[in-house]
Structure 1
Amino acid sequence: MTDGLPLIVTRPEPGNAATVERARAMGFDARSMPLFTARAIDWRPPAPGDFDALLLTSAFAARLAGQGLAELAALPVYAVGNATARAAEAAGLTVAMTGSSGAQRLLDDMTSDNIHNILWLCGRDRSEFDTRGAAITALPCYAVDPAPVPAEWDALIAAPALLLAHSARAAERISQLVGDARAHLSLVAISPAVAASAGDSWRDLAIAEQPDDVAILAQARALWHKGEK
């Protein structure tokens, strides 16, 4: 489909391999270029009775939280994106709502339903958002650390390419690594917040309609077809 134009997938594993496989099935020349690695960190689950709900904004929280997650199984889960919801269900949790427009919109829906005491199982490095007056306890259970830049990176970004940014930190690092020479590169962000972190001056900057892998690849395909015209 892309006539050799590479699609650069920067997210950590195991998501990277899943995205590359899905992209190649769509006809992309997908390249695995993970810029981060995810790992579990020590954490202690609090008493679930102190909270109304569990907020998950990344599938890593469900995948890497470990045995302590079982102690929170009584809490309904509010998950950002289908991948996070599926990871939560695979970990034995009950998903009450899956947000399709990012963490801020999901939190708005939660507070509208009078859910105010929220446990946010999250990463060590995380984006902030307006709490809308809710009492949110952020509890890191994993870390996402920068990985060494892949050896093929410089050669790939020297020519026209499509890049995927699955997080604000990924967008920031991509922007830093690319520098000012980006007018030949196109970037697809998984959310408006991620797009804002990418900066400007790209050949094209597009945003997925929903914060999940299917939507970001659909937007990448639309961007490619736009470029063909």
Structure 2
Amino acid sequence: MGVTVFVLRPEPGLSATLARGRKRGLAMEAMPLSHAEAVAWQVPEGTFDGILLGSANALRHAGKGTDEGAGRISETMGGSAADTGLDMLPRLPVYAVGKATAQAACSLRFPIAQVGEGGLQKLLDTLAPDAPLRLLRLAGEDRMTLSPPEGVTIETCTTYRIVHRALDEEDAARLREGGVVLLHSGVAARHFAAECERAGVDRTNLSLAALAPRIASQASDGWKSVAVAPETNDAALLSLVADMCH
């Protein structure tokens, strides 16, 4: 059967990661410890030149806007305050953190202005607009602080939150047997480390494979090993895991 690879991320990414890993012959096991939950929000005043996305979840859950927000945005689209869901957002060009987020935006009929590699801050660092660029950032409650370059302003709206669950006894028992744990976010890394401490799971039996250095840093220390994918995408992460397992 080989080394067990535990996947902590929530859907819809969970199923995709499981499928990719199993295609590589890895012994993948789903152990989602969180889910995304929409929160009410409203669009800020004024007009925007684009939408900044660090996560596909921010767009998927953006339909939970308030009536006031829907009214504001519908005025720019010629609609009514009764508009709901993604119809409250104009199809502005999207600046996406990576390919998966860009694909999610495309599936919802948003044009793509630029796709980054290596994180949202690196994407911003590549922007050098000839005219002022005002971006609407859709994000989760727990997000990284950004430093926009000259000429770029960002208005941030929280469209979702991550809700965590505790490790149950069955989860803890499986983890005590050892394996490799995939970490797709810093929030997940912190929560997982805290839950292992609470449940008495021996960290020295577990190796961590993180999507980025900042994610690995959130899991603290004491693990059997910690490795970081060479690129911030699922394919690179699973390639790393394959090497760790064999």
Q: TM-score, normalised by structure 2?
A: 0.81
Partner of 1:199 in structure 2? 220
Partner of 1:221 in structure 2? 242
Change (3 A) 1:210 1:72: farther
Partner of 1:37 in structure 2? 35
Q: Does 1:139 align with 2:157?
A: yes
Query: Matches of 1:139 and 1:195 in 2, distance apart?
Result: 27
Partner of 1:165 in structure 2? 183
Partner of 2:51 in structure 1? 54
Q: CA deviation digits over 1:34-89, x for unaligned, max 9?
A: 11011222222345x63232110011112222355444444221111211111111
Which moved further from structure 2: 190-199 or 65-74?
Answer: 65-74
Provide the aligned C-alpha RMSD in A: 2.1
115, 125, 147: which one pairs with 1:98? 115
Query: Matches of 2:101 and 2:187 in 1, distance apart?
Result: 18
* Alignment size in residue pairs: 221
Query: Matches of 2:170 and 2:33 in 1, distance apart?
Result: 12
Q: CA deviation at 1:209?
A: 2.5
Query: Matches of 2:245 and 2:149 in 1, distance apart?
Result: 38
**Counterpart AA for 1:9:** V
1:65-84 matches, within 5 Å, as 65-66=62-63, 67-84=84-101
Q: CA deviation at 1:196?
A: 1.3
Q: TM-score, normalised by structure 1?
A: 0.87
Q: CA deviation digits over 1:118-164, x for unaligned, max 9?
A: 21101122222334454221101111111242442111221221001
SS across alignment from 1:88: helix
Structure 2 unaligned runs (5+)?
Answer: 64-83
In the alignment, is the contact (CA less than 8 A) between 1:56 and 1:120 conserved in 2? yes
Change (3 A) 1:68 1:137: farther
157, 174, 188: which one pairs with 1:156? 174
Query: Matches of 1:197 and 1:33 in 2, distance apart?
Result: 19
Q: In percent, how many aligned pairs have the same letter? A: 37
Q: Does 1:181 align with 2:202?
A: yes
In the alignment, is the contact (CA less than 8 A) between 2:8 and 2:31 conserved in 1? yes
In the alignment, is the contact (CA less than 8 A) between 2:3 and 2:245 conserved in 1? no
Partner of 1:4 in structure 2? 2
**Counterpart AA for 2:21:** A
SS across alignment from 1:152: helix
**Counterpart AA for 1:126:** R
**Counterpart AA for 2:214:** A
Question: Which structure's CA Rg is the greater one?
Answer: 2
Partner of 1:22 in structure 2? 20
